[in-house]
Structure formats: structure tokens, C-alpha cells
Chain A
Amino acid sequence: MKLAIKMAYRNLVGAGLRTWLNVIVLSFSFLVIIWMKGIITGWNHQAKVDMTNWEIGEGQYWQEGYDPHDPFTFTDSHAPVPEEFLGEIERGDMEPSLIAQGTIYPQGRLQSVMIRGIDPKQTIFMLPSYKLDTLVTGAIPSIIGSGMAKNLKVNVGDRVMVQWRDADGTFDASEIFITEIFTVSVPAVDQGQIYLSLDTLRSMLGLEGEATTLTYNNSEVTRPAVEGWVHKSKTELTSAVDELIKVKTAGTSILYIILITLAMLAIFDTQVLSIFRRQKEIGTYIALGYTRRQVVGLFTVEGTMYAVLAALLSAAYGLPFLAWQAKVGWTMPVDASEFGMAIAQTLYPVYSAGLVIGTVLIITTVTALVSYWPSRRIAKMNPTEALRGKIQ
């Protein structure tokens, strides 16, 4: 076996450019597959991290009537914060949010808006909520996302009229003062949302001590089931991301198949020619006492070695590339801010050992199979004819 590997190596290196073309194509396949899978994994990771940081924490409790897709539910979906959680909220490990439906009047037009109350001192979300503590005369300090700001055509320092109804159905309206515009990759946090201080919103609605959602930052804690509140685990809340990733994974798999087929075409072609050109050599091996299986093995090892060399080559130029990518990320050449999904402008690929080893193993196995396939012909050769170099 050692001899076989040694001979295979010599044969390959001896073939020069032809070998290197095959090896480069194969190493390309390694790199592209690992990079693309890394990007998708990174995207999955980033989307969930962003959702955690901006929207859902480590999980949430929803007041049972709350349905984020149905604004009609907002009027009734609030309840006093359950006593069981007061301690956790006190420690800052859980954040109550109050959500109300309102109408915003940018430039005299009218538009529905979701008004969210959050504690200016909260630390669970990355929202610049401390900006809600700004003192403004005659208006309510508010922060909004960049997408919403674009939609409303407002900037920091602008005032916009907002109308709402309190818990009794009484109308009220006030100007809000935009104290900060934040950029976020999670559209649910940005589009159609305005943020006010929780205390302000509570007194606006006459709902002291009430909340619509409760977000916690520690999933390890066991919490009692609370009547009137529905627990939403992080897995549940991020299932849309999982689905998106599934589609992307399924879709790109076909690309990998085409790419590998391409590389295999090169290997196959090379193998067929080797066997055709090296009949004398094959005959000699058999004359020297090699069994046919051993000769087939020799050629298979030679073919498989392309994959091994490709892996080494990919490691040589690919590792620095992949490492560099993981560090600086891949910045999409388009503006991702108004994208309908949680996708950041820059995606950082994440590679797992399983991904790298798996890719190498799969490609090597396929290469071995493709190398073996044309070599089977050797087993059918007549050794004396082969020795004479007669084409069979």
C-alpha cells in the first residue's frame, strides 16, 4: 500500500500541468463548498444572534391574546406583569414591553403604527433605549429604526404626530420627538414600529404595571407556568430563520452536486486516458505478479490522490482565505437594510470541524469511486496483450 501511494504520487507529480489542473479544480470545489456552507451557517447564526439581541432575548412570554400579525389584538392583549416575575424584572433579567396600536401622521398622511413601550434602562435589547430618557418639551421622546425613518421621511430631531386610544377607548394624540434612529437587521424591530419609554406608554394608555410581552435573558431558569401568558421559546421564535436556512441549504446542495460533477468529469477523463496509455505498464505489473485487483487498487489510489493533493492545496491557499473571511466577513454589495429578513449587511462565515472534515471525506470518497470506475477495465484485460501494448 505504501508503495502504491508512493508510485501514485510520482505518477501524478510527473504528469505536471494536467495533474495540477485537476487538483486546482478539486480544491476549488472544496473551498467553494466550505465557504458557501460557512456563509449559510454564519447567516443562520447571525440572524439568531440579532433576533436575540434586538427582539426576543432568550425567550418570551406573550399575553395570551397577543398576535403580532394581527394589530386588532393589541387593544386587548395586555395584563399586569405576573408577580412570579417581578423579582427577575427587578434584577434586570426580564423586560416587560407594552404594545399598542396607533396612527402616525407624517406630513398629514395617516399610517398605522405599532407603539412599543420599553424601559429606558433596559439592558436585554441593544436598542438605544437610554435615548428615551431625553427631556423634550411638548413631545414624547421616541426612537425608531432607520427603515421606519426612511418610510416616514423623518430625521433625528423631527416631530411627528401620533394618535392612540387609551384602555377606555379615549383618543389622545401627541407629537413624538425622534431622539435616535438605530440601524438593525431585524425588520420586525424596525418596520412600522415606534419606541417610547415604558412608563410613558403605560400612563398614556392608563395601564400602570401592565405588559404585552416579557422577554428574559436566561433560558436556564425554570419558571412556573403563568396563567394568561403563553411561553415562547427561542426555538419557536426563530423557526422562520430555520426554514429559510433549510431552503438555502437545499438550494445550494444542487450547486455542490454540479460542482463536484464538474471536478469528477476531469478526474474521469484523466483516468480513462491513463489506463488507455499505460497498458504496457499494467501488463508489466501483472507480469510481475500483481493481481488484477492490486493493479485496479493502484490506479484507484492514484485517482484518489487528486483529492488528497487538492485538500492539501486548499489548505495552503484556502485556510488563509477562509480565516480572513471569518474575520472581515462577506459584505453584500447591496444595501441589505431594507431586506425583508433578518440579514446583516456583512455575513461572517462560520466553519465547523464537521463541515470541513465532512466535505473532505465526501469529495475524497466520490473521487475514489470515479477513479475506480474506469480502472475496472483493467480487470478484463488480457495481460499478454497488454504487455505488448496492444489496444484492447
Chain B
Amino acid sequence: MIKFLLIGLIRDKSRSRIPVIVVSIGVALTVLMHAYITGFMGDIIEINARVTHGHLKVMTAGYSENMQQMPNDLALTDVSSLTEELRQKYAGVEWSPRIQFAGIADVPDENGETRTQGPAMGLGLDLLDPQSPERERMNLEGSLVRGSMPGKANEVLLIELFSRKLDVNPGDRITFIGSTMYGSMTIHDFTVSGTVSMGQEALDRGMIIADIGDVRIALDMENAAGEILGFFREGFYDDEIAMENAAAFNGADGGNAKDLAPVMKSLSQQGTMGSYVGMTKSWSAMISMVFIIAMSLVLWNAGLLGGMRRYGEVGIRLAMGEDKGHTYRSMIYEAVMIGLAGSVVGTVIGLFLAWLLQKYGIDISGIMQGSALMMPTVIRANINPVDYYLGFIPGLISTVVGTMLSGIGIYKRQTARLFKELEA
């Protein structure tokens, strides 16, 4: 019977076209909305993850206590074997060692004496390897204002505003003065290869972005790193998994690790991100629920309308002696097929739209000019696994329920009046 109904649906476009279109649009909207709300609410999380927190972060217990002060004297050592161990244990996570540091940037004049000086923050990450996921993560190529990406040792990127303040151009030399992991003063020369604008004033105040290899030399941190950031390969933060990973990692020490022992923190366990993650979750859940309810009502209605479209046809079928139960069941099977087809098509369309919104985003930098907050200037969607099946809830269930309810009418129709109705 299923094959028969399917052929019917495919051949008789008037039976299937409008319902499938309506279900598809509805499902597409639901999927798009969910991906959008996740992206919009999660944007700040992802920015924070990429720039400072990672989805997971491994550091020493002492370092984690005073994270804001970037205490590199408490940095992790023997990082290569630790990273290897992490890579093996957590297959779904990409691990990238980083060093955050602070000091002074000093620009020499032609005699090599101080021309300008300013306090500087520094970020050392895997920059020179063109395959490095860090380049993409920080969107450095895309943020380039002048010059080019660092291509060889000791080439760095400078924040555009900072380079203007110091009056430095690509190709110029800057000297970094700071302290090594062991507290010695270090003086290290870098060449500015280009300038970037991060679009966040919090970052744009003054930062040097350098290759971690050079930073290790500068800060006497051979095979050491302040922190190892972990990023889920799926690309987006998942609090449950992150918390599980962190708990498993810290398990043995029960969170009472000694100063230099490594500990793992999820993004939500760092600074003020916990509250934000929590708020994001509850907002997303609430808004999604409202939408799914609304969507269900709409598709329910569509199911009812579908039943009405077929009023005449059902009448004839009953008049010809078809069993009421058979008619009812066939209507429901058809609804299942329409719901499935619409859900599949709608999910595909919704995912495509969400993908567009994820890739290109909506640029709101126009209204954000001169912003002092660490806010995204592009609103993006975030496709997550839920989006692959979420649309089926209203798409399939509501359509079927709508048909079931409207189909009850079949049982109320009296054969004697059928022809009269058909004449009318």
C-alpha cells in the first residue's frame, strides 16, 4: 500500500506539492532559527574560546589560580610529550600550546636608541606553519590590514592601532622587553611583518602576535608553554563534553593539584565564562521551545488544511465503498510521507541557509563603530548536531497529528449524504 500511496503522491502533484512546500518551509525556518540562536548566543563564547580560553585549557594549577596575571613562571614544562598525551587521550580535540605574556615594546631610532615605548601584551601561538589551525582560528589572514603574514622566524603581527601609536610600519624592527619564565629580564628583537585589526577594542589596545617558537626563545621557555588550548574538532563549544573531559583529566588529583601539576579547565570553568555559558544555554532552550511550539501549531494547521483539500476525494472514495478505517490510515501514511519528505527537504534547505549564515554572517559592524566591548561584529549561525533532527519534531509529528485530527471527520461522514455533498 505504501508503494501505491507514494506513487499517488508523486504523480498527483496537487496532493503533495503544497503540503510538502509548507512543511519544508516550516522545517527550514525551525532549523535556521535554531542554528541562528545557537550561533548568536554562542558567538561571544566562540570568540573568547578562540582568543583566550579555548574550549578546554590545560595549565599548571598555580597558573590557573592567577590566570589573569599570565604567570609564566608557573608555565607547563615538557609540553611536547604532554601535548602528545592529550592528543592520544582526546581524539576529538585539537591541542595548541600558547604563551600569553606582557612587557614593553620599544621602537629604536636609526641609532638603535629608544624612539617610542609602550606597554604591550603578547600572544605566542603556532603561526609560521601555514597549515596551523591557529591562523584560521584567530582569523589572522582575514584581519590583515597592512603588510603580510609572518613567513620566517621572529616576524610578528602587530595590532593596527598599536602600530599607529608606536608609529611602526611593516618591515620595521621592534624590541620586546619582558621577563623570562625564570624571571630574568629578556630583550628580544622582532620584525613587524604586518598589522591586523581584531575588531575588538579589548584586544586592539596593544598586542604583539608572534610564533610560539620565537616566544619560547625570547622568554627562555624551551618546550614550555603557559597554556595548552583544546578546541573541539566540531568547531563549537559543548559544555557537557568539556566538563566531562576536565573532570576526567583532573580526576586523580581531585582538583587539589600542586602548583606545577597540570590541570584542565573547561571554558565555563574559566573566569566569568561559566555564567555566560549557562545563560546561553537557558536562553537558547527557551527560544527554541517557543519556536518549536509555534511551528508545531502551524504544521498542525497545515495538516488540517491538507485534510480539507482532499474533502471531495475522500467523499468519492467512501461513496465507492472504501472502508473508513482504510481511508483514514492511508491519509495518515500519506501524512507521514509528506512529513518525512518535507522534513528532509526543509532540513536540507534550513541547513543550507544556516550554513550561509554561518559562513558569511550578518555584518553589524556599521552599528558597532567605536565599540569598547569584546563583541562580535558579525552575527553568525552555528550548525550543531541537533539541527539535523530538530526539524522532524514539528515537520513529521505535527503534520501527522494535524492529519489525524482532521481525518476524524472521515468517520463522521454519512454515506447517504455523500453524493449530496459532492453535488454541491
Given that A254-B36, A265-B26 are contacting pairs, would A28 and B293 also be in contact in the complex, using a CB cutoff of 8 Å?
A: yes
Which of A24, A335, A340, A341 is within 8 Å of B297, CB to CB? A24
Whether the pair B368, A29 counts as a contact (CB closer than 8 A) is: no
Residue contact A262 to B295, C-beta cutoff 8 Å: yes
Q: Which residues of A contact B304 (CB under 8 A)?
A: 17-18, 21
- Which of A18, A259, A262, A339 has most B Cβ within 10 Å? A262
B18 within 8 A of A: yes
Q: Do B69 and A111 touch across chains, with their CB atoms under 8 A apart?
A: yes
Q: How large is the interface on B (under 10, 10 to 19, 20 to 34, 35 or more residues)?
A: 35 or more
Is A243 in the interface zone, CB < 8 Å from B?
Answer: yes
Chain B residues, Cβ within 8 Å of A28: 290, 293-294, 297
Which label, helix, strand, loop or mixed, suits the secondary structure of the B interface? helix
Q: What are the nearest 4 A-B pairs in CB distance?
A: A334-B278, A21-B301, A266-B298, A333-B282
Name the B residues within 8 Å of A247 (CB-CB): 364, 367-368, 375-376
Shortest C-beta distance, B13 to chain A (Å), equals 14
Bound-state Cα–Cα, A21 to B304, Å = 10
Residue from A270, A277, A341 within 8 A of B301 (CB atoms): A270
Closest to A72 in B: B119
Residues of A within 8 A of B26 (CB): 262, 265
A243-B375, A251-B379, A262-B26 known; A270-B298 Cβ under 8 A = no
CB neighbours of A156 from chain B (8 A) = none
Among the listed B282, B302, B305, which residue makes an inter-chain contact with A334, where contact means beta carbons less than 8 Å apart?
Answer: B282
Q: Does B40 contact A (CB under 8 A)?
A: yes
Question: Does A338 sit within 8 A of B, measured CB to CB?
Answer: yes
8 contacts between A and B (CB under 8 A): A243-B372, A246-B367, A262-B294, A266-B297, A266-B302, A273-B305, A335-B275, A339-B272
The answer to whether B138 has its CB under 8 Å from any CB of chain A is no
**CB-defined contacts of A265 to chain B, threshold 8 Å:** 22, 25-26, 29, 298
Residues from chain A with Cβ under 8 Å of B297 in the complex: 21, 24-25, 28, 266
Q: B33, B305, B379, B405: which contacts A250 (Cβ < 8 A)?
A: B379
Is A243 touching B371 in the complex (CB atoms < 8 A)? yes
**Contact mask A334-353 → B, CB, 8 Å, 1/0?**
11111111000000000000
A126 to chain B, nearest CB (A): 22
- B interface vs A, CB < 8 Å? 18, 22, 25-26, 29, 32-33, 36-37, 40, 65-66, 69, 119, 205, 272, 274-276, 278-279, 282, 287, 290-291, 293-295, 297-298, 300-302, 304-305, 308-309, 362, 364, 367-368, 371-373, 375-376, 379, 405
Return the CB mask of A182-213 against B: 1 if under 8 Å, else 0.
Answer: 00000000000000000000000000000000
The residue on A at minimum CB distance from B69 is A111
| CB-CB contacts below 8 Å: A240-273 with B | 240, 243-244, 246-247, 250-251, 254-255, 258-259, 261-263, 265-266, 269-270, 272-273
A270 and B305 form a contact (CB under 8 A): yes
Of chain B, the residue at the smallest CB distance from A241 is B373
Closest to A336 in B: B275
Interface string of A368-382 (1 = CB under 8 A from B): 000000000000000
B375 touches A266 (CB 8 A): no
- On chain A, the residues within 8 Å of B301 by CB distance are 18, 21-22, 25, 266, 269-270
A66 CA / B294 CA spacing, docked (Å)? 53
With A109-B66, A243-B375 as contacts: A269 and B18 at CB distance below 8 Å: yes
- Residue A239, interface by CB 8 Å: yes
Known contacts A25-B301, A29-B294, A334-B274; can you find 17 more A-B pairs with CB under 8 A? Answer: A17-B304, A21-B301, A21-B304, A22-B301, A25-B298, A240-B372, A247-B368, A259-B291, A262-B294, A262-B295, A263-B298, A265-B22, A273-B308, A273-B309, A276-B309, A277-B308, A339-B272
| Residues of chain A within 8 A of B274, CB atoms compared | 334-335, 338
Contact call A258/B293, Cβ cutoff below 8 A: no
Query: Would A21 and B40 count as touching, CB distance under 8 A?
Result: no
B29 and A332 contact, CB distance less than 8 A = no
Query: From residue A36, how far is it (CB to closest CB) to chain B in Å?
Result: 8
- Residues on A with C-beta less than 8 A from B309 are 273, 276-277
User: Is the beta-carbon distance between A21 and B298 smaller than 8 angstroms?
Assistant: yes
Q: Chain A residues with Cβ under 8 A from B287's Cβ?
A: 255
Interface membership of A32, Cβ < 8 A: yes
- Minimum distance in angstroms from A306 CB to a CB of chain B: 11
Q: Are B364 and A250 in contact (CB under 8 A)?
A: yes
Interface digits, A131-158 against B, CB 8 Å rule (1 contact, 0 not)?
A: 0000000000000000000000000000
Q: Kindly report which residue of chain B lies nearest to residue A254, judged by CB atoms.
A: B36
How far is A21 from B302 in the complex, measured between Cα atoms in Å? 10
Q: Of all chain A residues, which has the CB nearest B357?
A: A254
State how many angstroms separate the Cβ of A370 from the closest Cβ of chain B. 13
With the chains together, A343 CA to B274 CA distance in Å? Answer: 15
The answer for the CA separation of A262 and B301 in the assembled complex, in Å, is: 12
| Cα–Cα, bound, A338→B347 (Å) | 38
Which B residues are CB-close (under 8 A) to A336?
Answer: 275, 279
Which of chain A's residues 30-63 have a Cβ closer than 8 Å to chain B? 32
Contact in complex: B373, A240 (CB < 8 Å): yes
Bound form: Cα–Cα A266–B306 in Å? 12
Q: Smallest CB–CB gap between B296 and chain A, Å?
A: 9
Query: Which chain A residue shows the least CB distance to B280?
Result: A334
Nearest CB on B from A157, distance (A): 24
Q: How far is the CA of A340 from the CA of B282 in the complex (A)?
A: 18
Complex Cα–Cα for A261 and B22 (A): 12
Q: How far is the CA of A243 from the CA of B119 in the complex (A)?
A: 27
Using known A-B contacts A247-B364, A334-B278, determine if residue A263 contacts B305 with beta carbons closer than 8 Å.
no
Question: What residues on A are CB-neighbors of B282 within 8 Å?
Answer: 332-334
Partner of A263, one of B36, B37, B69, B294: B294
What is the chain A residue whose CB lies nearest that of B66?
A109
Looking at the complex, which one of B276, B302, B305 makes contact with A339 (CB distance below 8 Å)?
A: B276
Do the beta carbons of B368 and A243 come within 8 Å of each other?
yes
Q: Nearest Cβ in chain B — how far from A253, in angstroms?
A: 10
| Chain B residue nearest to A36 in the complex (CB) | B287
Closest Cβ–Cβ distance, residue B174 to chain A (whole Å): 20
**Inter-chain contact B298/A335, CB cutoff 8 Å:** no
Partner of A255, one of B33, B119, B272, B376: B33
Distance in Å from the Cβ of A252 to the closest Cβ of chain B? 8
Contacts of A109 in B (CB 8 A): 65-66
Report which residue of A18, A24, A270 has the largest number of chain B beta carbons within 10 angstroms of its beta carbon. Answer: A18
Report chain B residues within 8 Å CB of A69.
205
